[in-house]
A and B are shown apart, each in its own frame.
Chain A
Amino acid sequence: MSSVLSVKDLVFGYPGQAAVLDAISFKVQRGERVGLIGPNGAGKTTLFLLICGIVSAESGKVEISGIPVLKGRFNPAVGMVFQHTADQLICPTVSEDIAFGPQNMGLSVEEVAGNVNRAAGATGIIPLLERVPHQLSSGEQRLVALAGVLAMQPELLILDEPTADLDMRYRRRLVGMLKSMEQKTMLTASHDLEFILEVCTRVIVLNQGVIQADGEPVTVMANRCLMEEHGLELPHSLTAAWHRHGTETDCS
């Protein structure tokens, strides 16, 4: 399997402060859905900005499908859905907004239309195509932003807190949609640990600039001591299992 994302010895920090990312390395293979968890300030969003080429690292390498990421260079191979989706939607209609990315890629009118329809179909928002994005609910806006990114057919999809301010209905819809996108390589950061459990095939715990754990979601996230040590807690669905099978172990 080829790695879609390769991060090697990545270092990033602000002058006079401890490193936000301290020589982290990991790879994401094609088709993997990786969840990134950790406390606030762990560097998850910073990592995304580095992968997208919005900021540049002090040292280390980031490659998408073997090609180095360059700061400021447009790279449609990576698509990111921001936590605050309102920042991402600028066009008067949903269809124009989804078309924005493919148009900037220089695709033909037919190709753009095709991409828009496919992305809208995948996210289930075809009925919303002529609506005004800012009049939609936050759940609908999230799906529009996702469609806008999917329309560029990225190799790597990054989702920053995708279930933030979603009601249960849209959360279920998003979970179902992401699980159905089996071929999509995905990297997501979320405090919604149940979401990570449901959707991701692998989880990475990031804290104090370093990768603290990397493995199967159930294995990593069922480790109460590990989770609590890094400012997290057991997902509720694993708490019951812990009580049934585990003993109250002293984590010190």
Chain B
Amino acid sequence: MIAPYSTAIPESNLLSRWEVRHKLIGLMALIFSFSFIRELRLLPLVILVSVVIYSLSQLSFAYYWSRIRLPGLFLLMLALILPFSAGNTVLASFGPLALKLEGTLSVLLIAVKFLCIFAIVLVLFAGTPLQKIVGALRSLGLPALLAEMLIFTNRYIYQLITDLRQTQVATGLRGFKGRSVKALKPLAYIVGTLLVRSHNQSERVFQAMTLRGYGEESLVLKAEQVQIFDRLALAAALLLATGFVFLQLNFFPAS
């Protein structure tokens, strides 16, 4: 279900070698510019840019498909509701339900934007180890407390998932099925136990770390060397992002 965090993009890939801060700023700017689009006629360009970037990352379509299933559910819900509720121009009628043009176009706009943004998000996170992302965010102004929380939390998520699985196996062996309303109390006990054990463990972790000098200074993360390629790639991403915003504002201001 959850595999330990790992980078799916090979280290030799261009996007893997893009310095993290530059990559973060560049791709986030692009994501926001996609979000800014309200004109359907700009969507083919959005799709083209996403497809090119995704292809450059060497990630497979199977990987995209495996990741989109859960988040895509919300989109599906919207796709089923909006076309029948928003707008006035009726395209077709199915008994009491009327398929409306405005709603359908709304869904198309949202869906394409979501799918393209998702591709860029995948490229961003599948190509960068968490430590580097946190380091980049820290250098961009993320408070030290939050940065440390991110690193610590990541460290313990996988262990707690293993602990939870063991508990589920152990309770299953004692006949617990977790499928009826009666399961609510034992499940609350399991969550409570998880919290208690985590709290107890955190005290031991803190003691062990204090013995190794924790608390004297904040987490120090190494800054990477910036190459010309990093700056050029950032410039390209910012140019694209600005381009989209410019096109939307100047050529399709009414939408």
Binding site for B on A (CB under 8 A): 52, 54, 72, 74, 76, 78-80, 82, 84, 86-92, 100-101, 104-105, 134, 148-149, 152
Contacts and interface: CB of A to CB of B under 8 A. Distances in A.
Contacts of B163: 87
Contact of B186 (A76, A89, A90): A90
User: 7 shortest A-B CB distances, which residue pairs?
Assistant: A104-B175, A101-B174, A87-B166, A88-B170, A90-B189, A74-B175, A90-B193
B242 to A, nearest CB: 49
B176 A104 contact: yes
B197 A134 contact: yes
Given A79-B173, A87-B167, A134-B193, 10 more contacts: A74-B175, A74-B177, A90-B171, A90-B190, A92-B192, A100-B174, A100-B176, A104-B174, A104-B176, A148-B174
Given A82-B166, A87-B163, A134 B171 contact: no
A152 B172 CA distance: 13
Nearest to B163: A87
Nearest to A132: B196
Instruction: Classify the interface of chain B: helix, strand, loop or mixed.
Output: helix
A92 B167 CA distance: 15
B169 interface: yes
B200 interface: yes
Contacts of A152: 174-175
A87 B176 contact: no
Interface residues of B, number: 20
Contact of B175 (A76, A90, A91): A76
A92 B195 CA distance: 13
A175 B173 CA distance: 24
Contact of B173 (A52, A84, A89, A134): A52
A74 B197 CA distance: 27
B175 A86 contact: no
Contacts of B172: 54, 72, 74
Interface in B148-197: 163, 166-167, 169-177, 186, 189-190, 192-193, 196-197
Contacts of B174: 100-101, 104, 148-149, 152
Nearest to A87: B166
Contacts of B171: 88, 90, 100
A74 B174 CA distance: 7
B189 A54 contact: no
Contacts of B169: 54
Contacts of A78: 173
A101 B175 contact: yes
Nearest to B200: A134
A80 B192 CA distance: 23
A79 B171 CA distance: 11
Given A91-B189, A134-B200, A84 B166 contact: yes
B202 to A, nearest CB: 14
A88 B168 CA distance: 9
Contacts of B173: 52, 54, 74, 78-80
Contacts of A92: 189, 192
Contacts of A84: 166
